A and B are shown apart, each in its own frame.
Chain A
């Protein structure tokens, strides 16, 4: 168990004990000073955004310079005239037009042909692997983001260090490092109208302070600290900066609340959001339609987030991911079936942007995976590993991706060094 380590990290070292002062008191005071000081505002931040259901990478980041793309998708290809051109060969789906300025200012990079070395086409297995960080191995108990938190040496002692927006903690954050699942910042805490809420919070705080032991004690204390910190954030009164308008819906709300926590300096380092609806087997549409609507939501949420944070994007990397891609050829229902590689996006100040990274295997049948899908040329662990090592200052990637030997020569080059 990690209690002892957590206490140690919180106390910022045990040197103070030798001064003969009450170590717990000092630890607490030091902890409070750290949390409330300027320290919290500096430090790298990673936001992971999972597109659950396997996004069609080829209609998201369109190889409009490739004849084969149009031959294989007579009814659902994005017409070249609609594509937002990036580099002459690739372009954005028109619904992602809001991201073009970020490409132009070099804070958006695309990693195409990324994915898992495992060949499964099961959503369930592939999501599991992408979150556990151990493709092919199902019994891994924890997720790679949690293992990062566990091995991160200089993290802050704050209940908001790792936050997932959703009804429960996702696999990617499962594990021994404390992390928070929040459905809605406005609803975090005791549910009662004021002033009853304050009384109730105070009563529970006293109950736990007086009778809880072990993990119940430390976790409840974190909970009440989080409530205190959130009071400062005042989530109901938030106004996005720079005229940013987040799209309505779960993704927009999650991105807004991540921005809010970042600006409130509560020590957020790792955030996770997810958005479903990418499993477009039927009538996926082209420039308009089902996929276009999902992409518009995604593009607007990311653009609003970047606009809202403004200079704050300096320390932030947003990484999109999806369990696999979809077939190169459209199917009989104007949709696409489960494929292999997909495209991922990296957004933020530290990103080596304005580029499509990774080796593009091409759409030629001879280059395909199992004769039908885009081949994976960037193992997702090389992409995630690079972001953790170069941006998040992880020192030991082999502990975060067990069984994998990270090699900087295989990194796609997504972070500016």
Chain B
């Protein structure tokens, strides 16, 4: 290697050191109304749209929060119109099952005919293409709703629960069961009662397939179903305790897991080819007595003992604490202070798990507004992409390509394989490759070359030859006033080399979106 290169690498490595320690983010004692509005828009929403922070500050941030907690009274007509154009919403589970199995048949026939050894991966048939389009719809719905909905908190919570009760789209019949799961099991209860979510997911074909409970039968129950199940399957039972309710240190034993699995024997689905609706098969159900964490379920309890167990779990203080902790990690800080978790648990106890009231307690608590928790969380890829699109007043186009951008940044929607869902901690999202991808996405979005989005920068950041003014607008619109002196200086330096105001604007916005301030919320 040439010595010049060595020197070059060394000086590149050492260069940052000469500038001294990085400045700490501003830590005002109390937030201004504008900063409070920004903070609320960063956490309860997918970031502010142009001018929105001012509007929320004028309304009063607590009033805005109360409105967000009551989404039924927020008009969302523009989004509804947009949703009607998305194909997958017009098919029910049975229709989707038909499409799925037709595509599978098509794939097999093409392989058998020897026409296509890769089963249509390279040259898909019409049925396969439809299947793929509907799968793309599901992911793009997330991005479209997160970007356009006025009911922002409801969207954030739909994402939270879809993640808490994660189902992997790629597991067998879940390819056609997931739309119903999201639309009917999760979304209507996003700000509802936890017990309803728990009962709903326990009976959902999507979860029963994902965690194998549909194959769980009492030993020697004598059913001769297609897949010849051999006894109980503990998957759902274990994840119900470990992830959905009590948490990994929730105090249960392997014997408790087995007890739960026995309680849910027979909770299954109709043949997937017929649509796979929920069914309770009494013949497959273990009729014996069970004891779970000291609670006795007498012999012959049937399906009701499952509901009894779910309601007991929903009202269990260990569950309250586990789920409240997750909510606080989402809204307050990756490592939430005990105080806000306590507040959430108290509200849960008082209201029997009314999530709206649990959230209200969190948003009214001092920890939510504490200076050290403002801009303390790193955005997930979904939050990064959607907040960038919103900051520019842009919108997703009618393809699934913006959802694919989110996937390339590391968060393919509904494709998290493990039942724990996508992580909430920054350590899981921040790595070198991921940051480079975000920088590239920021530059591309500002240059209007990011796939899947229509952007007109004139709305948010008008072009101007006055660089000071340009930077002030970028700071206000993109960074919410958080631009550091260093960022200002670096961007200005870059802009001096350009004389075209349109190019200068694209570069300034791109650097701001890909830079460090915008990664935080």
> Quick check: is B6 within 8 A (CB to CB) of the other chain?
yes
> Quick check: is A159 within 8 A (CB to CB) of the other chain?
yes
Interfacial chain B residues near A213, Cβ < 8 Å: 22, 24-25, 516
Output the least CB separation between A223 and chain B (Å).
4
Interfacial chain B residues near A227, Cβ < 8 Å: 436
Q: How far is the CA of A317 from the CA of B111 in the complex (A)?
A: 36
Output the least CB separation between A31 and chain B (Å).
8
Q: Of residues A28, A122, A219, which shows the largest number of chain B Cβ atoms within 10 Å of its Cβ?
A: A219
> Quick check: is B189 within 8 A (CB to CB) of the other chain?
no
CB <8 Å contact, A207 and B487: yes
CB <8 Å contact, A206 and B490: yes
> Quick check: is B72 within 8 A (CB to CB) of the other chain?
no
Q: How far is the CA of A210 from the CA of B22 in the complex (A)?
A: 5
Interfacial chain A residues near B239, Cβ < 8 Å: 138-139
Interfacial chain B residues near A215, Cβ < 8 Å: 378, 426-427, 430
Q: Which of B5, B494, B520 contacts A199 (CB 8 A)?
A: B494
If the complex has contacts A189-B436, A215-B426, are A124 and B171 also in contact, measured as CB distance less than 8 A?
yes
CB <8 Å contact, B419 and A139: yes
CB <8 Å contact, A216 and B111: no
Q: Which of B407, B435, B443 contacts A216 (CB 8 A)?
A: B435
Chain B interface mostly: helix
Q: How far is the CA of A122 from the CA of B5 in the complex (A)?
A: 51
> Quick check: is B126 within 8 A (CB to CB) of the other chain?
no
Interfacial chain B residues near A289, Cβ < 8 Å: 117
> Quick check: is B226 within 8 A (CB to CB) of the other chain?
no
Q: How far is the CA of A211 from the CA of B484 in the complex (A)?
A: 7
A interface size (C-beta, 8 A):
71
CB <8 Å contact, A220 and B111: no
Name the interface residues of A199-246: CB closer than 8 Å to any CB of B. 199-200, 203-217, 219-228, 232
Report how many A-B pairs have Cβ atoms within 8 Å: 185
CB <8 Å contact, A188 and B1: no
Output the least CB separation between A416 and chain B (Å).
34
Interfacial chain A residues near B440, Cβ < 8 Å: 190-191
Output the least CB separation between B193 and chain A (Å).
25
| Chain B residue at smallest Cβ distance from A140 | B418
Name the interface residues of B1-19: CB closer than 8 Å to any CB of A. 1, 5-6, 9-10, 12-17, 19
> Quick check: is A390 within 8 A (CB to CB) of the other chain?
no
| Chain A residue at smallest Cβ distance from B174 | A124
Chain A interface mostly: helix
> Quick check: is A74 within 8 A (CB to CB) of the other chain?
no
> Quick check: is A399 within 8 A (CB to CB) of the other chain?
no
Q: Which of B168, B514, B515 contacts A211 (CB 8 A)?
A: B515
Interfacial chain B residues near A1, Cβ < 8 Å: 427
Interfacial chain B residues near A180, Cβ < 8 Å: 431-433
CB <8 Å contact, B5 and A232: yes
Interfacial chain A residues near B431, Cβ < 8 Å: 169, 178-180, 219, 222
CB <8 Å contact, B435 and A220: yes
| Chain B residue at smallest Cβ distance from A217 | B22
Interfacial chain A residues near B222, Cβ < 8 Å: none
> Quick check: is A359 within 8 A (CB to CB) of the other chain?
no
Which of B's residues lie within 8 Å of A, judged by CB? 1, 5-6, 9-10, 12-17, 19, 22-25, 108, 111-112, 114, 117-119, 168, 170-172, 212, 235, 238-239, 242-243, 248, 378, 407-408, 410, 412, 417-420, 423, 426-427, 430-436, 439-440, 443-444, 484, 486-487, 490-491, 493-494, 497, 511, 514-517, 519-520
Q: List 7 A-B contacts (CB under 8 A).
A: A127-B417, A138-B419, A204-B514, A213-B24, A216-B520, A219-B432, A228-B9
